[in-house]
Amino acid sequence: MNLRQFFISHSWWGKLIGAFLGFLVAGPAGALIGILIGNFFDRGLNEHFSRPYWQYHTEKRKSVQSIFFEATFSILGYVAKADGRVSEQEIQMAETVMQEMRLNTSQKKAAKQFFNAGKKTDFSFKNILTLLKAATHDNLELLRLFIEIQYRAARVDGLTEKKLQAMNTILLYLGFSPLHQQYRFYEDFTSHSTSNQSKYQHSYSSSSSAGSSSYRSPFNTLDEAFAILGINPEANKQDVKRAYRRLISQNHPDKLIAQGLPEEKIRVANEKTQKIRKAYEQICANKGW
């Protein structure tokens, strides 16, 4: 668990320290005041570590930031153009990402240039993805942020068959499982009709030529377990345990309670943690661990 995950999932350190120091200074009354002050401290840390694009802004290597920046907007253009036409919603989505990243005027101009370059027929996504993969080899959270942005944008006006092909090709090239095998995207496909499932299987078969993975039905129980943890079936014990701990930390209800989210979100988080635990137990049982 890194520092960010620690403070997001353990949002009580400020209150504990505040209560202790307050008690030393002014007894029980001081402890109550200390808890109140500590609560503000915990919320501030939580908001700091949970803000959008935290992974990008805290990356201190300017070269890595630069590659991520170019890859993000050029691939946004590439995926948007995948089905032949870039819609107004997709352009607006790219502009929304610019605003969320708090880009200045010159950065927005550069982002638009990269987006337009990605739309061109002669654009080679492999070159920029090769650079991105090498630059983020020790910062997988930044690489996951890249994938989240691309998927979010691809869904803006409908996740078409050609967009699915483009997304899966990108994922496979970066060394990730296809969309239907990743938990944060899995439910988008399990809710599809049978005809859409068949269409998706066809699109995945087309994109799998970019990698060595073979198609797996998203409705196989063991495959679902791997999808929930967001890992490949070939993952070793250490990788499985690491993925399990990361997902438990991200979806821990205590973290959402500290953020003041509604009860519905808390209920969903509880359901997710249950699914994550069951998936982990099923994989361990299947592997004999």
- pLDDT tens digits, one per residue of 2-20: 445 554 455 556 677 878 7
- Rounded distance between C-alpha atoms, residue 243 and residue 247, angstroms: 6
**Would residue 10 count as lying in a domain?**
yes
Query: Residue with structure tokens 């915990």?
Result: 42
Burial status of residue 162 (CB atoms within 10 A of its CB: 0-12, 13-18, 19 or more) = middle
Mean pLDDT across 136-158: 87
Do 71 and 12 share a domain, yes or no? no
**Would residue 234 count as lying in a domain?**
no
**Would residue 279 count as lying in a domain?**
no
**Would residue 71 count as lying in a domain?**
yes
Neighbouring C-beta atoms of residue 8, cutoff 10 Å: 23
Please report how the helices 140-154 and 161-174 are oriented relative to each other, as an axis angle in degrees rounded to 10. Answer: 170
**Would residue 231 count as lying in a domain?**
no
For the chain, the maximum distance between any two Cα atoms, rounded to a whole number of angstroms, is: 71
Number of domains in the chain: 2
Do 37 and 81 share a domain, yes or no? no
How confident is the model over 163-207, as pLDDT tens digits?
989 999 998 888 887 776 665 565 554 443 333 444 444 444 444
**Would residue 207 count as lying in a domain?**
no
**Would residue 241 count as lying in a domain?**
no
- pTM more than 0.75: no
Do 145 and 75 share a domain, yes or no? yes
**Would residue 120 count as lying in a domain?**
yes
- Rounded distance between C-alpha atoms, residue 118 and residue 69, angstroms: 13
Whole-number Cα distances in Å, 31 to 14, 16, 25, 55, 130: 12, 9, 8, 35, 54
The residue from 158, 185, 212 where one domain ends is 158
How confident is the model over 51-75, as pLDDT tens digits?
567 778 788 899 999 999 999 999 9
Backbone φ and ψ for 138, nearest 5 degrees, come out as -110, 15
Predicted confidence band at 80 (pLDDT cuts at 50, 70, 90)?
Answer: very high
The residue from 121, 142, 158 where one domain ends is 158
Residue 42 domain boundaries: 3-50
Do 93 and 43 share a domain, yes or no? no
